[in-house]
């Protein structure tokens, strides 16, 4: 058992302004490595988050919160196809698994880039939501970051909600 788990965490990491750039870098690296997908920055933010596929991974320990990835079903299908290839990528549960794994790798990549989180923050198993008509309410107060990156001209939304 790691010392983190057995001893607990006795401090909380506060978010820093540079974390948005770290989150963007983590997203670009993971999508490239896992799916061979190139993500680029939008010159103008494309409005409010939307899309029928949302994957999320919780964080606990020195930082408590949730990382999410949200995109359209068509984008999720393309990404799963790039990760897995073939007909398997047309199966909705496989697409959900692929999106969950992208989010899990994104969360792990992000926390590994922040030295005070790397060994002091645990990740939950991924959860995937299908559907667009929902509202996520989190414990107050909270802070965080939200941005979209472009995949083949379509927005993929990323967020980190931090429970302060």
Task: Give domain status of residue 2, yes or no.
Answer: no
Provide the pLDDT for residue 87.
67
What's 124's DSSP letter? P
Enter the DSSP assignment of 43.
S
Residue 3 lies in a domain: no
Would you state the pLDDT for residue 3? 45
In this structure, what CATH number is given to the domain that contains residue 143?
3.40.1550.10
DSSP code for 39: -
Sign of CA dihedral 109, 115, 117, 119: positive
pLDDT by position in tens, the chain (length 164): 344 444 555 678 888 889 999 999 999 999 999 999 999 999 887 888 889 999 999 999 999 999 999 999 999 999 999 998 766 667 888 999 999 999 999 999 999 999 888 889 999 999 999 988 877 766 665 788 999 999 999 999 999 999 86
**Count of domains observed in the chain:** 1
Give residue 102's pLDDT.
97
pLDDT in tens, 107-151: 999 999 998 888 899 999 999 999 888 777 666 657 889 999 999
- Is position 108 within any domain? yes
pLDDT confidence of residue 85: 77
Say if residues 150 and 126 touch (Cβ distance below 8 Å): no
Q: Residue 113, SS3?
A: helix
Domain holding 24, by residue range, is: 17-37+49-163
Strand (E) or helix (H) holding 26:
helix 19-35
């Amino acid at each position: 058992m790691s010392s983190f788990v057995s001893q607990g965490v006795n401090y909380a990491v506060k978010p820093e302004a540079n974390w948005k750039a770290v989150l963007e870098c983590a997203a670009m690296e993971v999508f490239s490595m896992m799916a061979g997908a190139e993500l680029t920055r939008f010159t103008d933010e494309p409005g409010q988050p939307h899309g029928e596929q949302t994957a999320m991974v919780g964080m606990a320990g020195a930082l408590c919160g949730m990382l999410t990835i949200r995109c359209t079903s068509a984008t999720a299908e393309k990404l799963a196809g790039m990760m897995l290839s073939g007909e398997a990528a047309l199966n909705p549960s496989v697409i959900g698994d692929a999106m969950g794994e992208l989010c899990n790798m994104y969360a792990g990549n992000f926390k590994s880039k922040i030295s005070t989180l790397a060994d002091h923050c645990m990740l939950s198993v991924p959860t995937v939501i299908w559907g667009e008509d929902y509202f996520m309410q989190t414990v107050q107060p909270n802070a965080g970051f939200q941005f979209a990156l472009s995949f083949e001209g379509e927005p993929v939304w990323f967020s980190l909600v931090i429970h302060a």
